[in-house]
Amino acid sequence: MVISVVLVTFISLTFVGAAILIQMQIGEMKGYWYDRAQVAVYFCTATDNTETCAQAETTDEQKAAVEAQLKSATLEPFIDRYEFESRELAFKNFKERFGGSPGADLASPEFLPESFRVKLKDPTQSTVLIESFSGVPGVHSVRDDRQYLDAILTILNTASYAAIGLAALMLIAAVLLIATTIRLSAFSRRREIGIMRLVGASNRFIQTPFILEGVFASLIGSVLAGAAVVALVHFFVQGYLLETVGNSFGLVDVGDAMIAAPILVALGGALAAASAGIAISRYLKV
C-alpha cells in the first residue's frame, strides 16, 4: 500500500513539475524574445510585385521618408531604437540562422529585402507601426516577429494546461489512495485506537502516527518527483534539446528545476497530511 502511495504521488507530482517547468519555459522564452522582439519594416526588392512596390526597388528618398517618420513625434515615444539592415547584413543573418538547411544555398543577397529593424518600448504595441507603414510607397510589408513566438507560446500553454489537467486527476487519485491506505491502517489497528480513546489519549496523540505514515509515503514520492524533474531538465532539456535545437532562445535550466522541486515536495506533504487527517478523523469522533 505504501509503495502504491509512493508511486502515485511520484507520477502525479512529476506531471505537476512538468507543468511548472513548461510555464517557466514560457516565461523564459517571453523574456528572451520580447527582449529582442522587433518589428521589421521590409522594403521592396526588384522582384516584388505588390501594390506599393510595383517591381521596383525602394528608392533612397522613400527610405529616408520612412526613417523620418520613425523619428517623428508621433512614433518616437513608442520606439526604443531602430537600425537599418542592409542586404548584406540580411544575407549574413540568414546564413547564420538557416545555414546548412536544404535550400539555404539557393539564397542570394538580391532576393533578400532591406529593412528597418525597430525595437519597441512595449512589444505589444506593434500595431501602431503596422498601421503607420502599411500602404506607404516602397514599403513591402511590416511584420511583427512576435506573432511567430505567440504561436509557439500558445502550443506550450496548451501543453502545460494538459499537464496540469492530468496532474489534477492524478493528484485526486493520490489523495483518495492515501485516504484509503490510512483508513486500512487505522482499521487494522482499531483495537489500539479503541483502547487509546478509552484511556483518554488525546486526539492528536492518536492521529499523529497515521498522518505521519501518509506524509512519509507521499514525501518519498514527492522527492522522487522532484528528482525526476531535475533529471529531466538536466538530461533532456540541457542535454538533448540543447544539442539538437541549440540555445537560440532561452531554455529552462537546472536552477529552474531546483525551484520547482521544493514546491512539489511541499505540495505532496501538504496534500498527504490533509487527506490522512480527514481519513483518520472518523475514528476519533466522540
Q: Binding residues for other proteins, per CB under 8 A?
A: 191-192, 194-203, 205-206, 286
Burial of 218 (0-12, 13-18, 19+ CB in 10 A): buried
Cβ 200 to other proteins shortest distance, Å? 4
C-alpha grid cell for residue 130?
503596422
Cβ 216 to other proteins shortest distance, Å? 21
* CB neighbour list of residue 72: distance below 8 Å, 6 or more residues apart: none
The amino acid present at 79, given as its one-letter code, is I
Per the DSSP assignment, residues forming a β-bridge with 117 are 40, 83
Distance CA 133, CA 61 (A): 15
The answer to whether 9 touches 218, Cβ cutoff 8 Å, is: yes
Question: Cα separations (Å) of 97 from 32, 114, 238, 248?
Answer: 17, 17, 21, 9
Cβ 206 to other proteins shortest distance, Å? 8
SS3 call for 143: strand
Nearest to 162 by CA among 15, 5, 8: 15
Comparison of 176 and 201: residue with beta carbon closer to other proteins: 201
The answer to whether 37 touches 181, Cβ cutoff 8 Å, is: no
Cβ 188 to other proteins shortest distance, Å? 12
Comparison of 195 and 266: residue with beta carbon closer to other proteins: 195
Cβ 192 to other proteins shortest distance, Å? 6
Cβ 276 to other proteins shortest distance, Å? 19
Pairing verdict, β 39-43 and 139-144:
antiparallel
Comparison of 127 and 202: residue with beta carbon closer to other proteins: 202
The answer to whether 37 touches 150, Cβ cutoff 8 Å, is: no
Cβ 162 to other proteins shortest distance, Å? 44
Hey, CA dihedral for 78, 80, 85, 90, is it positive or negative?
A: negative
Comparison of 191 and 282: residue with beta carbon closer to other proteins: 191
SS3 call for 285: coil
SS3 call for 239: helix
Cβ 280 to other proteins shortest distance, Å? 15
